[in-house]
Structure 1
Amino acid sequence: MKKFDVIVLGAGIVGVCTCLHLQLRGYHVCLVDKKDAGQGTSYGNAGLIERSSVIPYHFPREFSRLIAYAFNHQTDVRFDWTYLPHIAPWLFKFWCQSSPKNLKKSTLALLPLIENSVKEHDFLAELAGATSFIEPKGWLEIFRTDKDFDKAKNHLLSLERFHLNYDVLDRNALIQRVPSISPQLVGGIHWLDPKTVNDPGGLTAAYARYFIKQGGSFVTLDALKTEYNNGLWQINDNGISIGAPDIVVALGPQSIQFMNKFGYRHIPFAVKRGYHIHFRQVDEKTVLEHSICDPVAGFVLAPMRQGIRLTTGIEFASPKAPPYWTQLKRAEKIAKNIFPLGEYVETKPWLGERPCLSDMRPIIGKAPAHKGLWLNFGHAHHGLTLGAVSGKLLAEIMAGEQPLTSPDAFSLTRF
């Protein structure tokens, strides 16, 4: 058996960043996954390091929106009727946690992580020689009706205390900022604090390569074969045996399977599915320079190294269910009226899963019932955004350092 100080389960952005921060503190770390780094959920997001999303994505409480969702004709959210009985208890908890009081609590808890998200990615990207993946372009929120645009501008007043930087763009200013965008749009808001990633999976892989170059180990094993014996966490798989006194669960949507195996069955955990597909440019002159989001339809068009990526909103369906094109087709129809898109790059869309907790906060910290069991999962829509900073926070906790923020709000014991 090869022994390490720490085993980190999961080679997504959260797990890889956790490895790097532990390595920087002198730990001998082994990263474990069945796939290469950045090939799971971390591959398929919109590529936003979302410094401006200071309010977590929460359950809508307006009756008109709930009625609209009930008919399942919306683009931003789709649900499989047969899956609703399974997900309903979690949705009710999510709705309760989205009350004004609870939403404020989660907002304040997450704020230090959001505020440090760009800085911590910049730090790791500089170390890893991966700065070409991150671009300081911000992203644009676009609006198709005056009603939605006015509502968004009024909402800006409630965000003044967060000191965010943005430009409010009328129709002409929006066209100047994004040439070739539809003149039918009434305006937009350009959020300037966030940064964009032109290949999220590539950035994760670059971080992992640096981790290995600095002496870290990466082995292909099944994390669910982990056992705990006499104070040692062990994995025996594919003829390989490794062990460590400490282990970190950063398995994203698969984290709940690991936790259930070791008796943690009370976690309000759910998976939101999401899709993306890439389009070619229609011609050399029609270039998308900025990521644009339609908040009503719930999709993002993002310039990626693979092409122009169209990402969808939320789908509630069984993780075992086959992919459905419905939501992506609806989003594509609207997106093509916003910006010219060429042919598909892929023959079929990518489908991924977001690991979500009902109070919109990840779990970061120690598991209460097992020695040496550490947790870093449940980042929902902000895995890329919070990967670097939550990796740092967990490493600080494990090393006994002064953490950048109180870890109490992210402890498993809050449930």
Structure 2
Amino acid sequence: MAGRQVHAFDVMVLGAGIVGVCTALHLRRLGLDVALIDRKHPGAEASFGNAGIVQRNGFVPYAVPNRLQDLVPILLKQSSAVSYDLGTVLRLLPWIRRYHACNSGRGIEAYSRTIAPLRAFAVEEHLELARTTNADRFYRQGGWLHLFRSETSFRHSETERLYARVFGVSYDELSGGDLAKLEPGLKLPSLKAVHWPESCSVSNPGAVVDAFWRGYVQEGGGYFRGDAGKLRRERGGFSLEGERGEVFARNAVIALGAWSADVMKGFGESYPLAVQRGYHMHYRALSGASLSRPVVDVENGFTLTPTDNGIRLTTGVELAGRDLPPNPGVVKLARRRAEELFPLGRPLQDTPWMGCRPCLPDSLPVVGASPSVPGLWLNFGHAHDGFTLGPVTGRLLAEKIVGKTPLLDIAGLAPARFMA
């Protein structure tokens, strides 16, 4: 079109969640002209609604139950850890079988060896970005707690502690008075617990992403509203029509979370990306009770975390289509179980928030160059770890794009592992 405005950049990053924002910020700091593009305000999707934990632990993939005693309450829709839409589950059966295969002994070993170096730098990368973007006020030390309602569930979590010992990550096993001393607001101090002190958390995940984005813009980064589905490959690069004209760049990064596979199909690449939905609600604590750190109920799948907006209850996994209507029953069930642990008061928002976690069957993201499209780079599929790993995978991909040797070897995250 004659007279249209063209904005030219070295690289455009599609998706302004924490993964895309951190990728764009690192690229900018490496000297490239960068355009960050999204339909919404940065951090408005899954990066907004999580429990705000930066995990130093986490060496075993998130388990989808397969034992009969665990499956019965799920099938009867009495589980707050896993809920489902039947049509979605039937469609996902091949993916679920593949996911379970990756949760075997050999699969867990491969996952742990790949994820451990990323977790080793996750907290450090977060704190460095926070320090330079005025986001450090949202961060708190003190780790987080895993609570176990039965001896059986505690024993089943031993593999996680085994790998923590292998990789030199400290933890404390607590019960009775020790747990009550650490979190006196809990109603069941007799539970067994594991405290992971090397992790940290934030009081407002959305505000953290917003601060990172504002730092990126202040350092000269460009930001545009646009639909990533309109990305086109052109001679010498990529173009996309945004609200303020056409954006052109020699390189493009796909960091669209649960929407990434849709765009990649348009470029002839298929990735087994499934969606696990999650919800949150904020509540006022009753009777002056308080929490000092996030607390996860391992059997029931929910987390309670103190935030700037009250106590945030985040739910377990819902296996339902990305675009299906929200299911308010998920939050209602999680709240009933949560109130057995902590005295939640009135809700502080009218309706639950819902977001989508983008999950690949081996529980690892794809980070690296497209196997078939020159100049196209991928950074998605972080599952439950987007908030934790966004800063470090953003740095690793940015270093790869500029031709610098990355801080860590990212061969285990290569997109080519899914190409037949």
Aligned match of 2:283: 279
Shift of 1:405: 2.3
Aligned to 1:218: 223
Please tell me whether residue 349 in structure 1 is matched to residue 378 in structure 2: no
Matched, 1:76 2:81: yes
Aligned length: 413
Question: Cα distance, 1:160 vs. partner?
Answer: 1.6
Paired position in structure 2 for 1:56: 61
Q: Identify which of 177, 191, 211 aligns with 1:186.
A: 191
Indicate conservation of the 8 Å contact 1:9/1:31, yes or no.
yes
Deviations 1:114-142 (A, max 9, x none): 11100111111111121011111200112
Distance in 2 between residues matched to 1:348 and 1:132, nearest whole Å: 28
**Change in 2 beyond 3 A, CA 1:154/1:383:** closer
CA shift, 1:186, in A, is: 2.2
Contact 2:144 2:293 in 1 (8 A): yes
User: Which residue of the other structure, out of 221, 224, 233, is the alignment partner of 1:228?
Assistant: 233
Query: Are residue 142 (structure 1) and residue 147 (structure 2) matched?
Result: yes
Among candidates 217, 231, 247, match of residue 242 of structure 1: 247
Query: Quick check: 1:390 aligned with 2:397?
Result: no
Matches of 1:185 and 1:293, distance apart in 2? 15
Larger mean Cα displacement after TM superposition, 348-357 or 274-283: 274-283
Tell me how far 1:31 sits from its aligned partner.
Answer: 0.5
2:272 paired with 1:268: yes
Q: Are the aligned partners of 2:59 and 2:111 in contact in 1 as well (CA < 8 Å)?
A: no
Query: For residues 4 and 408 of structure 1, what CA distance do their matches in structure 2 show?
Result: 28
Aligned: 1:3 with 2:22: no
| Matching of residue 112 in structure 1 with residue 117 in structure 2 | yes
Paired position in structure 1 for 2:322: 319
Q: State how far apart, in whole Å, the 1-side matches of 2:213 and 2:340 are.
A: 39
Contact 1:44-1:350 at 8 Å conserved across structures: yes
Structure 1 SS opposite 2:405: coil
TM-superposition CA deviations, 1:261-320 (whole Å, max 9, x none): 11112x11101000000001225x322211111000000000011110000110011122
Q: Please list every run of 5 or more consecutive structure 2 residues that lacks an aligned counterpart in the other structure.
A: 1-5
Q: Distance in 2 between matches of 1:292 and 1:54?
A: 18
| Mapping 1:165-180, distance limit 5 Å | 165-180=170-185
Residue type matched to 2:44 in 1?
A: Q
TM-score scaled to structure 1, two decimals?
0.95
Q: 2:195 is matched by which residue type in structure 1? A: H
Corresponding position of 1:378: 381
Q: How far does residue 184 in structure 1 lie from its aligned partner after superposition? A: 5.6
Q: How well do the aligned residues superpose, as a CA RMSD in angstroms? A: 1.7
Residues in 1 aligned to 2:291 and 2:100: alpha-carbon distance in whole angstroms: 36
What displacement does 1:65 show?
2.9
CA contact (8 A) 1:59 1:98 kept: no
Q: State the Cα distance separating 1:47 from its structure 2 match.
A: 0.5
Provide, for residues 312-334 of structure 1, a one-character-per-residue CA deviation record: whole Å limited to 9, x for no partner. 11001112211112221111011
Q: Flag the 1:263–1:391 CA change in 2: closer, same or farther, 3 A.
A: same
CA distance in 1, matches of 2:159, 2:134: 41
Amino acid at match of 1:366: A
Give the C-alpha shift of residue 64 in structure 1: 3.7
- Aligned-partner residue type, residue 343 of structure 1: R
CA contact (8 A) 1:142 1:188 kept: yes
TM-score (norm 2): 0.94
Of 87, 90, 100, 2:92 maps to 87
Matches of 1:154 and 1:360, distance apart in 2: 16
* 1:275-314 matches, cutoff 5 A: 275-283=279-287, 285-314=288-317
Structure 1 gap segments, 5+ residues each:
none
- CA apart distance, 1:151: 5.0
Match of 1:402 among 402, 405, 410: 405
Q: What are the Cα deviations for residues 180-236 of structure 1, in whole angstroms up to 9, with x where unaligned?
A: 211464231111010001111110000000000011111111111111111221011
Secondary structure at 1:278 match in 2: strand
